[in-house]
Amino acid sequence: MDGWVLLCEMEAAGAGPRRVVVDGTGLVVWLAADGTPRVFADRCPHRDARLSAGYVEDGRLICPFHLWAFDESGHYVGPDGVADPECAVARYPARAQDGGIWVRDVPVPATSG
């Protein structure tokens, strides 16, 4: 799988959101309601909290800091259940294969120096 990076086993993500770091970039791996993997940047756009410290409820990833909810596409979902197209967390292409969760197109963070 050219360009794809193995993040973790499917079983590990099934236990809840999991933090994985790829080339210095923090990611959160979790399973959608239908069991397909999702990979987001591991930071809430609201207050930079780690989404991997949150939980999954009703097919949404919940931030542990202020309980913001993100749908499977990465958009913030308000208390009214409506997704906000202007507020989203970065999402990366993910797939399940051979018992693992794979990701591609993860940007390498800039370094100073």
Tell me the two tokens of residue 85.
């197209």
Percentage of residues of the chain with pLDDT beyond 90: 72
Report pLDDT digits (tens) over 40-83. Answer: 999 999 889 999 999 999 999 999 999 999 999 999 999 899 99
Place of tokens 């100073």: 112
DSSP class of 13: H
Which of 46, 48, 49, 42 has its CA nearest to residue 18? 42
Q: What is the pLDDT of residue 108?
A: 64
- Fold topology of 4-104: Rieske Iron-sulfur Protein (2.102.10)
Tell me the two tokens of residue 96.
């399940």
End-to-end CA distance of the chain: 33
Q: What is the pTM of this model?
A: 0.89
